Structure 1
Amino acid sequence: MALTDNITPPAPPTSGSELWTLVRERIGWQKILLGLLIFALSLLAIWPGISGGRIWDDGPLIFHNPLIKDPWGILKFWFTRHTPDYFPITSSTFWIEWRLWGFDYLAWRVVNVGFHALGAVFLWRVLKQLKIPAAWLGAALFAVHPVAVETTVWIAELKNTLSWALFMLAWMLYLDFDAVVAAEAALRRDTIESLTATMRTGRGKKWWLYGFSITVFVLALLAKTTVVMLPVLLLLCVWWRRGKWQWADLWRTVPFFIASLVMGIITCIYQWDNASIRGYTRGIGTRIAGVGWEVWFYLGKDIYPHPLLEIYPRWVIPATQWWAWLPDLALAAVLAAAWYYRRGWGRPVLMALGGFCMVLMPVLGLVKMSYWIHSLVADHLQYLGVPFFTAFVAGVGGGLAAKYRHLRIPAVLLAGVVLTLEVGVSFYHSRIFAHPKDVWLHTLEYNHGSWGAYMNKGVAELNAKEYVKARRDLDTARRLNRHSGGISYDLGLMYLLRKDYPKARQEFITALKANKYRPLAIGSLAHCYLKMGRPEKALADLYRGLKMMPGSASLWFTLSVVLDHQGHYGHALTAVTHAIKLNPYDPLARYDRAYLLEKTGHWHQALAQYHQALERLPGFFQGHYMYAQALFKHGHPGAAAAQLSEIILLHVPSAQVNWHVHQLLARVLQAEGHPRQAQKQLALARRYQAALARPQPHHAPKVPRSPILPPTRP
């Protein structure tokens, strides 16, 4: 009978309170509070930017992505080629979050911060397992590091934070497994201490830990494949613990290497097929020379995080010049020296710098990636490398404090100062993310040649209806990059809003040549044809687009616009109903459905639909106006007056809107038998009519001439 057979495992908890008691007893109050402190510091560090608007590709990847709004999108993400990357776990999380939060950007960012902080807590555990001094400080310094701000406030970078948390969990589980293996190996040497350790950890859970680690790692790869270097890091940790490798250690990492290889190949296929980087190549010599440049750049930003930019200048590395290879030579020299002195000071340097280089290897330019069109480096690309730097700094400081007792108090004070400084710098840096335009103004302050910054600044100005500024910035972006379909689409949108339909049409055609899977570009092009008196061409383009993307709610919505214009109200109603099924969160589509229900004689359903739409988008004056018209027309003047009063309370800064509102309100009051009040409303209507002769602000809302609203917003 085995010695461990008499040990009775504890009974599982039977209630929530018992589970909490078990967690508290196993972990301890101190660790729980320190873990919660990491979460709190992570949130504090990005607080000014946590409720900001969308950044960069948040729109196309999430908020305008038809697969996100498709009821079956959570399944389609696993089998589609119409995404920039194959990250189905991240995309499925987006799909779920969209149904939970909608356009509540604060909630999206809280989730990002949650995964970021959770990974930092796992990092703390990993550093403790590796017996690195000041483990909590190393994790906390990462959690609040200014370089991590971009990732945590950029909603689309959930792929970074989610894969990071899963990556660290897989790493932690493997180290637990490795500790059991080491304890069993010691048991075979018949030492009482190791026998006790083995009994505590338990043999039975060893392979459970191993299998769970592999499973979590596969999930991390499916969230983002930049975590592919985990098996190399696992071997590095084995060397750190035991100073050598055995064949068993290598065999245990084989499943991890296989998973990394498969997902790495899939990612390369997606990147090579990316339309944005076709024709843009870098020679192999330039790529290898650039590795040293990027590693030293990232280490420099980790040490002195200023300035931190959304897009850094794109270097031109002259690989034919001898001096271009100096950064590579310097990096190789440091690693070689650390290996030579690996029994002394070189051991922690080799662990930290080697791990830093290994985990960043997928983004150091050796493999083709789409971000090259902007820059060779980015804060979000080095996100996984920052923990190695912070762990090294904390470990060296903690080690010195443990060795020299007189340094303990100064070390604690210095650690507090550094942590406070990092929180302050991150807090200050995150303020630029409170307004999307500020992100690009800050970038252009240091990087004047960034076409991406000009393009995104132009989009922010377009959304603010600053058309002159938007055209200037988009034209500048076009001069800097004449091959971007995104710039063409944004220019087309600007011309469309300014009613220059021929120019808008040409820009949308150019955008679709660069990437035909652009539902908003197809819809906007159809709208141009409609305004140019060519509805048959609009319908042809829409049917072609729906054949490629039948799950695009925006294309079905635009189809309803064109069919309504042609007088095919029944078919238009079918199209907009299908659009709502694909995206039930779009209140504008519900307004259009209400209008079409009314046109087809289903006015009871129309009134109910108007009411539902207003619940989803309160304060939308066009919706109140349309609802009031329908109520008045079908014998509900009191309810119509209430809707018109809501518009008046909104204080819409448009004489034309107020003219229409007061005119209709006068008719409603007259029908209710209030002639004096009706006369007052007519007098107000005439006053606004007279004001129409004066110039109106360019940003004033327009009167809802048509209840159908085409999707012209980016």
Structure 2
Amino acid sequence: MQADWKRDERSAWQLVAQAAVIVGAVLLVYLPAWRAGFVWDDEQLITANPLLRTFSGLIEIWSGGRTADYFPMTNTVFWIERHLFGENATGYHAINILLHGADAILVWLVLHRLQIPGAWFAGLIFGIHPVHVESVAWTSELKNVLAMFFTLLSIFSFVGSNEQRQSHAAYLASLFFFALALLSKTQTVFLPIALLLYGWWRDRGSFRREVIRTGPFFVMAAVFGLITIWFQNRGIGEEEIVIGSFPRRLVNAGMAIWWYAGKVFLPTRLMAIYPRWRFDSPEFWEWLPLVGLVLLLGLLWLCRNRRTRGAFLAVAYFIVALLPVIGFVRMAYLRSGTLVADHLQYFADVSLIAFVCSAVAMFANRARREIRTAIAAIAILLIAMMGAYAWQRTKVFQDEEVLWRDTLAKNPDAWQARARLGQYFFRQRKYSDAIEHLRRAVELKPELPENHNLLGLAYCRAERFEEGIAEYRKALELKESRASTAQSVSVATIRTNLANALTIIGNNLSGSATEIPSEATRRYEEAIAQYKKALELEPNQPAIHRNLGLLLARLGRLDEAEAHLRATLQIVPNEPAAEETLKEIEAQRR
């Protein structure tokens, strides 16, 4: 009995040591992320998200009132982080890194429970793989590492329900964790098919029993899948996002699957936004990747036996995990014009990594000592190379400028990168640099109102008001030609920006003259009209009331000015400009 106790103690310490190595490797690789800031849509989702500031916002997160996607579990964690860390990015990055480390450990434990050789090495590779950097170093991708955590727990529990005496408890735990995964990110809708594949691979009992056991998972996946499609369509609105005809979608899906597999085995030239894909009618040769994929699956199926059916499982799992994100349905990420992104393969990679690691482990177990030594040396070299590249890739997510300069160096025609870099320079008050990139963004994506509005702002800050006004007019023309989208700039904002520019031009034309020139009057009148139209859309915006009130006061229309300035103070008490101008109006009336 004492010998058994000592053996169990050694085994426990060995497990702890193995887990510590994985976590240590992850912490080392992602060391640059601890000093990184917020990038991309972190501002929209985290720092400037009003729902994360109040308890009523937390309720709205779960009711789905204003959210672009229904990921309430992820947004709840964001809500907690916002109250713990405020706008200090370090805490957010720490949570992402630790969750990714936990994911890597769970990959190892799930594969170990499945009795797959090389399980620990697969967990380590998953933890330091360069293609996963985007999911970890980008704060907004908490949804990936969190959903993966619950997905792996669901798989672990489901597998355990076939082995444990309390199988019902493990099965219910699996359902519970799957629900949490769906509430974190609905790309996990693939899991029921993966569990069905596992049941076939395990080859115990009847397949009919596995269908019944996975039935509730399929129901949950269908419900959350439909919810996600509804939220995505609401967020996209009438914005044109091209995904092509059904034949084109099939062709692109085949090419995307091979592309993602290539990034698993050769993760080079990683970037935030990849070059545009084709969405027109497919050429004959473009069907070849899909045909090759079907032939590969067919060959693996025909050659299946107890030893080789794992290969079919690995490839099928990889494909199934990618199905929600390879362009069959319209999703917001497709607005960039590309079909692929590093963070979209986070859930799928584990199958190919596990398959290769298990194949190498089985070969090494049968090989001579010299060959095993060579395999170990190659494995160490591979880990070092992957870790070094992942560390280097993590540094790219330091801030907006580094991220988008890296993207544009590899993909100069990425309009989103141009627009984001232009916004960054605008905030830094480097208006000439902002104009350069925003003009290019407009050239690449001329149909997007946001780009024209941003360029208009940059022109006006550079005191190139006529050019700015032209961009605002174009933004209005585009915006009013279709329904407003939840994620885009509002018509009221564009009208306000236009009115502000017209007012400044009017002021410049008037100068210190006692009588306002006719051209200035014309600009002022148009500005007033734009302010009023903006207020019809957003009547509770204090800045619009204030600016309109100040302009009316300048023109001597005191009664109208007073009404708008008092409206400003009702919304924002003690607003300095409104209070001062009201005092001046009262003085003029005496």
Question: TM-score w.r.t. structure 1 length?
Answer: 0.68
1:519 and 1:272, CA in 2 relative to 1: closer, same or farther beyond 3 A?
Answer: closer
- Structure 2 counterpart of 1:219: 180
C-alpha separation in 2, matches of 1:221 and 1:27: 35
CA shift, 1:51, in A, is: 2.7
Instruction: Say whether the 8 Å CA contact 2:154–2:175 is kept in structure 1.
Output: yes
Query: In the alignment, which of 299, 323, 342 is matched to residue 261 of structure 2?
Result: 299
Q: What's the secondary structure of 1:229's corresponding residue?
A: helix
Looking at structure 2, the residues matched to 560 and 242 of structure 1 have their Cα atoms a distance apart, in angstroms, of 72
C-alpha deviation, 1:82, in angstroms:
3.3
Residue of structure 1 in register with 2:515 after alignment: none
Asked whether the equivalents of residues 560 and 575 of structure 1 are also in contact (C-alpha less than 8 Å), the reply is no
Name the CA distance, whole Å, in 2 between partners of 1:466 and 1:447: 23
Which of structures 1 and 2 has the bigger CA Rg? 1
Q: 1:418 aligns with which of 382, 388, 394?
A: 382
Distance (whole Å) between structure 2 residues aligned to residue 486 and residue 50 of structure 1: 32
Q: How does 1:591-602 map to 2 (within 5 A)?
A: none
Contact 2:73/2:184 (<8 A) preserved: yes
1:17 aligns with none
Q: Distance in 1 between matches of 2:572 and 2:368?
A: 73
1:278 and 1:597, CA in 2 relative to 1: closer, same or farther beyond 3 A? closer
Contact kept, 8 Å, 1:340 with 1:346, in 2: the verdict is no
SS at match of 2:161: helix
Give the match for residue 193 of structure 1. Answer: none
Equivalent runs, 1:131-146 vs 2, <5 Å:
131-146=115-130
Among 355, 367, 386, the residue aligned to 1:392: 355
Q: Does 1:288 align with 2:233?
A: no
2:171 equivalent in structure 1? 210
Q: 1:426 Cα deviation (Å)?
A: 0.5
Match of 1:111 in 2: 95
> 1:360 and 1:281, CA in 2 relative to 1: closer, same or farther beyond 3 A?
closer
Identity of counterpart residues, as a percentage?
A: 29
Corresponding residue for residue 265 of structure 1: 226
Write out aligned runs for 1:349-364 (5 A). 349-364=311-326
Q: CA deviation at 1:456?
A: 1.8
Shift, 1:569, TM fit = 7.6
Pairing 1:529–2:499 present: yes
Superposed displacement of residue 153, structure 1: 1.2
8 A contact 1:48–1:430 mirrored in 2: yes
Conservation of the 8 A alpha-carbon contact between 2:396 and 2:402 = yes
Distance 2:485 2:300 in 1: 51
Give ranges in structure 1 of 5+ residues lacking alignment.
1-23, 181-202, 548-554, 578-591, 601-714
Determine the C-alpha separation between the residues in 1 that align with 2:419 and 2:579: 41
Tell me which of 387, 401, 404 is aligned to 2:364.
Answer: 401
1:484 lines up with 2:460 in the alignment:
no
2:237 matched residue in structure 1: 275
Question: Which range is displaced more, 494-503 or 458-467?
Answer: 494-503
1:556-595 equivalence runs, <5 A: 572=568, 575-576=571-572
Opposite residue 118 of structure 1, the aligned amino acid is A
Deviation at 1:287, TM superposition (A): 0.5
Determine the structure 1 residue equivalent to 2:197: 236
- The Cα shift of 1:542 comes to 5.0
SS of the aligned residue for 1:72 comes to: helix
Q: 1:100 to 1:564 in 2, by over 3 A?
A: farther
Query: Match for residue 379 of structure 1?
Result: 342
Deviations 1:653-676 (A, max 9, x none): xxxxxxxxxxxxxxxxxxxxxxxx
2:244 counterpart of 1:248: no
Which of the numbers 27, 31, 34 marks the counterpart of 2:15? 31
Map 1:514-663; keep pairs closer than 5 Å.
515=484, 517=486, 522=492, 525-526=495-496, 529=499, 532=503, 534=527, 538=531, 541-542=534-535, 544-545=537-538, 572=568, 575-576=571-572
| Structure 2 unpaired stretches of 5+ | 1-7, 504-523, 552-560, 582-590
CA–CA separation in structure 2 for the residues paired with 1:163 and 1:218: 10
Cross-structure match for 1:464: 428
Are residues 1:63 and 2:47 paired? yes
Alignment partners' CA distance in 2, 1:525 and 1:40: 53
Aligned to 2:63, what secondary structure does the other structure show?
coil
TM-score normalised by length of structure 2? 0.82
Q: Provide the residue aligned with 1:430 in structure 2.
A: 394
1:99 corresponds, among 83, 88, 93, to 83
After superposition, residues 669-708 of structure 1 pair within 5 angstroms as none
The 3 A distance-change label for structure 1 pair 535 and 210 is farther
| Contact persistence 1:119–1:169 (CA under 8 A) | no
Which residue type is aligned with residue 153 of structure 1?
A
Aligned-partner SS, 2:162: helix
